[in-house]
Structure 1
Amino acid sequence: MSSLHVMAKPRVNRGFLWRVSLIAGLGGILYGFDVGIIAAALVFVRSTFALSTQMQELVVSVVPMGTMAGAILGGIVSDRLGRRSTLLWSGAIFIFGSVLAPASPNVATLIVARLLLGVAIGFTSVTAPVYVSELAPPQSRGKLIGFYQFALTLGIVLANVVGYWLAGQHAWRLMFGLGALPAVVFFFLVLTVPESPRWLYAQGRVVEAEKVLLSYTDEAGAEELLADIEVASRTKVDRRWSVLWTPAVRRGLLIAVGFVVLQQFTGINAVIYYGPQIFALAGITSNENAIFAALLVSVMNMLATIIALFLVDRLGRKPLLYAGLSGMMASLFVLAYSFQHAAALGHSLGLVATGCLVVYITCCAASMGPIAWILVSEVFPLRVRGRGAAAATLGYGISNTLVSLTFLSVLQRVGTAMTFAMFGLCCVVTLAFVRWVVPETKGMELESISAAPVEMRP
């Protein structure tokens, strides 16, 4: 490439970047739909198959179990076969799982179907944010990666809309089956996008990488990005998992895994998975009304994520986290207090619980929700980015499984008030983690984040 245009401001085809983000975001919609639909479907699945509390927890938690397997396998596939190929595999598995679930003659088959959906989620969670981050310019990277989280919240809203719509018919099979439609669209749209230029360069396919760069930026921009990639790619991709423990990578591993684990211990997916049951405990006994309350929470989840997309590259990651976690903590403690004094509140407990959960989910969606996956895709060097994202997704899956597999049992043992108080205490721990461990990555070049010395990271 010529260097005649080096001083010119690089032109970026934002239409192309948004198209890629939208397609990758469809993976987020599938993710959100498949984790969200269980909230409504479980109400009817448990009566169809006469499920015990432990079996209900297993039906819910088998998805994050599959996510763990998908994270490990997806990280390997992402680094060896490419980001695009991994997204194609996830689309195919989504389709198969979405067809098998509604056809399940027994709970064992349903568990297998949801396990496969979890594997597909693991593939997508590992790959989609990394794929977008490797295409996005630094000044809009947070917004573009955060769109994946927005798509996830949209998928949860769609799941709750479908659940509310079909609740009167008890049509849980159709609830699951409708997930096949976006899966098919996702698979065929992924066929239309290119491979990551950073991954291509790491494989020695420099000409192809240059061609992809020139498809969405001008010659000056492509030259600048290619130079950055060249510097970052001087060390070949290391396929050993042990490399994540080396001094150059260890801090990124702590940030990414620690943050997603703490995200789960603040209770976000417990609220999403078991929303109708929580509202039933608050006195909303009608299945339709409980599912509608869960739908309201999911809508606020989506709307708040839009706010985060516009602020994350302007205010930065840490200011949003401070504000969001403070709101989550306050709403959880108020919710715990309300359940502790349920007798005094009487019928108003349902309204108080709904209000607290709306505030909680709004604060989470405007902070921890999108920023978790932004950080995962930012803090690892190129040579281990796929493995690093896989490790973070694995940590997410383990913690998600632990919370979802024990939530109903913990409620029965320690009570609703104490359960939400424990989630509130986890918010306090997470605030300390953000203050002392998480760096501010706003506006930094992707390759410079992991290379910067610790003292330079605010």
Structure 2
Amino acid sequence: MALSATHPDDPGRTRRASLTVLIIAAVSALGGLLFGYDTGIISAALLFITRDIPVDTFGKELVTSAIVAGALVGCLVAGPVSDRVGRRPTILIAAVIFIIGSIASATSHSATMLIAVRLLLGLAVGGTSQIIPVYIAELAPAARRGSLVLLFQLAIVVGILVSTIIGWALGGSDGSGGNWRLMFLLGTVPAAILFLGMLFLPESPRYLVLRGQSERALAILRRVRPSDAVAAEELGAVEAQPRENGSWKLLFSRRVRPALIAGTGIGMFCQITGTNATIYYAPSVLASAGFGADEALQTQLLVGVTIVVATAFGLWAVDRWGRRTLMLRFLLLAALGLVLLGGSFIGGNPTGIGRYTAVAGLIAYEIFNVGSISASIWLVGAEVFPLAIRGKGMSMVALSHWTFDLVVSLFTLTMVQALGAGYAFFVFAAINVLAWVFVLRAVPETKGRSLEEIEQRLGDGTFLAMR
């Protein structure tokens, strides 16, 4: 059902409500910046940790992967916690873990301690990937929900870029710096801002309705909607949805299955289409293409800037083109970028102009993949599940993301060694085509629809008919 438009007689209130929602989304999205920073900074820190802490190659792998292992647990725990204590308290808990984890990482004196701390940070990373998109989606108006939720994804890629810049700056241009403790400690700054900011932000009104606190929910909706009439109408739509037991059994029921397939499927394809594989291993690919260390670093920085720009475009496009439409328009172009990249390696490492063809293919792939399916993963997951199990449903989306992130991280280089770089990229190109088919068949268009309409369409069997 469509909610009323803005109140024509009070443009001042409309602007205040719009600004309030933007502030709520921007502050909570800082969790995404921490997500990106803490997962990205380890690549620079590992270059210098061995100066102070004895750690072998296997230990470095454990330190790097510990945050992913923690995220697998964190995303599962955060769903039930957020359904029990609320969205806002769950984000506050994650912020505290980020602060403690950043300080503990900076003061670690052994590899064992650092691995344990990175596991702890992983709990916060996984938790924020589950709860922050849900929190923003439940507060945002339907017309702006896409761009506001995508602030979280934009913050993630900005965090990755910031970690690259800080790692380079604190490492020194000749590698003589290497203040790895400060690299970790700087993570406390956005974590503290997130914690303090969340103290002043409201709870999700939909969660409050779920807990029988409709008066509090209406008061919050009046702050973030352009008129009392719009707020009351939205509250009525939320209250009209059947109150169900938010059990895991409901999540895996036949009725909810289309949403579960759509959300977790995007979570899986977001990883196996090669997004993080190219980010993780781009320097190795560039080195094999004949680039020197400085050129490889500069191109890696270009990749970092590219994914930020691509995500910013996705933020604009999801509420204008639509989530499904954006993915259908861009995924095949991403596949073509990988074909161009892979083709540069056929017959041996690229030389001459082939080196720049490889870079062009890499950049094109990042633009079209990151700007579409990577931009949509947290958004679609936060939209498609019924209110009673939204937290648990988003946990499964995040679990899919982190599980396949781990798989891709472990097996990408093995695949490159077995097939060669060119054919490995052809495999990722084919998977992008499969992702396009999946979106065409299994993902509805949720642009401009209220969360209650999406839930109603899921209940009456017309979920996949939304186009």
TM over 0.5: yes
1:375 match: 380
1:425 match: 430
2:201 match: 193
Once the two structures are TM-superposed, the CA of residue 302 in structure 1 deviates from its matched residue by 0.7
Once the two structures are TM-superposed, the CA of residue 50 in structure 1 deviates from its matched residue by 5.5
Once the two structures are TM-superposed, the CA of residue 420 in structure 1 deviates from its matched residue by 1.9
Once the two structures are TM-superposed, the CA of residue 313 in structure 1 deviates from its matched residue by 0.9
Query: How big is each residue's C-alpha offset from its partner over 1:340-386, in whole Å with a ceiling of 9 and x where there is no partner?
Result: 3344x325555333322221111123211221111001100111100
Match of 1:223 among 228, 232, 238: 232
Percent of aligned positions with the same letter in both sequences? 36
2:137 match: 133
Aligned mates of 2:50, 2:424 — CA distance in 1? 23
Once the two structures are TM-superposed, the CA of residue 282 in structure 1 deviates from its matched residue by 2.6
Alpha-carbon spacing, 1:21–1:454, altered in 2? closer, same or farther (3 Å): closer
Residue 73 of structure 2 aligns with an amino acid whose one-letter code is A
Question: What's the secondary structure of 1:331's corresponding residue?
Answer: helix
1:95 match: 99
2:334 match: 328
Aligned mates of 1:398, 1:100 — CA distance in 2? 26
Unpaired runs of at least 5, structure 1: none
- RMSD, aligned α-carbons: 2.2
1:177 match: 185
Residue 21 of structure 2 aligns with an amino acid whose one-letter code is L
Aligned mates of 1:437, 1:50 — CA distance in 2? 46
Aligned mates of 2:23, 2:5 — CA distance in 1? 27
1:444 match: 449
Match of 1:290 among 296, 315, 334: 296
Once the two structures are TM-superposed, the CA of residue 7 in structure 1 deviates from its matched residue by 10
Contact 2:341 2:360 in 1 (8 A): no
Residue 314 of structure 2 aligns with an amino acid whose one-letter code is A
TM-score, normalization: structure 2? 0.90
Structure 1 residue 273 and structure 2 residue 280: aligned? yes
Query: How big is each residue's C-alpha offset from its partner over 1:65-85, in whole Å with a ceiling of 9 and x where there is no partner?
Result: 211100111001110000000
Query: How big is each residue's C-alpha offset from its partner over 1:24-57, in whole Å with a ceiling of 9 and x where there is no partner?
Result: 11111111111222333344457875543x5544
Question: What's the secondary structure of 1:215's corresponding residue?
Answer: helix
Match of 2:325 among 299, 319, 327: 319
Aligned mates of 2:376, 2:290 — CA distance in 1? 34
1:214 match: 222
Aligned mates of 1:104, 1:259 — CA distance in 2? 37
Match of 2:24 among 20, 27, 32: 20
Aligned mates of 2:162, 2:117 — CA distance in 1? 20
TM-score, normalization: structure 1? 0.92
Query: How big is each residue's C-alpha offset from its partner over 1:69-120, in whole Å with a ceiling of 9 and x where there is no partner?
Result: 0011100111000000010011011111212223233333222222222210
Give the number of equivalent residue pairs.
449
2:151 match: 147
Aligned mates of 1:302, 1:6 — CA distance in 2? 32
Aligned mates of 2:46, 2:357 — CA distance in 1? 24
Aligned mates of 1:57, 1:412 — CA distance in 2? 19
Aligned mates of 2:256, 2:181 — CA distance in 1? 44
Structure 1 residue 37 and structure 2 residue 46: aligned? no
Query: How big is each residue's C-alpha offset from its partner over 1:187-213, in whole Å with a ceiling of 9 and x where there is no partner?
Result: 111111010000011101111111111
Structure 1 residue 106 and structure 2 residue 110: aligned? yes
Aligned mates of 1:57, 1:409 — CA distance in 2? 15
1:399 match: 404
Query: How big is each residue's C-alpha offset from its partner over 1:387-417, in whole Å with a ceiling of 9 and x where there is no partner?
Result: 0001111111111111112333333343322
Contact 2:147 2:319 in 1 (8 A): yes
Aligned mates of 1:353, 1:450 — CA distance in 2? 44
Contact 1:75 1:387 in 2 (8 A): yes
Alpha-carbon spacing, 1:6–1:182, altered in 2? closer, same or farther (3 Å): closer
Aligned mates of 1:348, 1:236 — CA distance in 2? 61
Question: What's the secondary structure of 1:274's corresponding residue?
Answer: helix
Unpaired runs of at least 5, structure 2: none
Aligned mates of 2:363, 2:184 — CA distance in 1? 25
2:311 match: 305
Aligned mates of 2:354, 2:171 — CA distance in 1? 24
Alpha-carbon spacing, 1:187–1:446, altered in 2? closer, same or farther (3 Å): same
Once the two structures are TM-superposed, the CA of residue 8 in structure 1 deviates from its matched residue by 5.2
Alpha-carbon spacing, 1:298–1:80, altered in 2? closer, same or farther (3 Å): same
Aligned mates of 1:132, 1:186 — CA distance in 2? 14
Contact 2:443 2:464 in 1 (8 A): no
1:384 match: 389
Aligned mates of 1:360, 1:456 — CA distance in 2? 30
Match of 2:85 among 81, 88, 112: 81
Alpha-carbon spacing, 1:331–1:148, altered in 2? closer, same or farther (3 Å): same
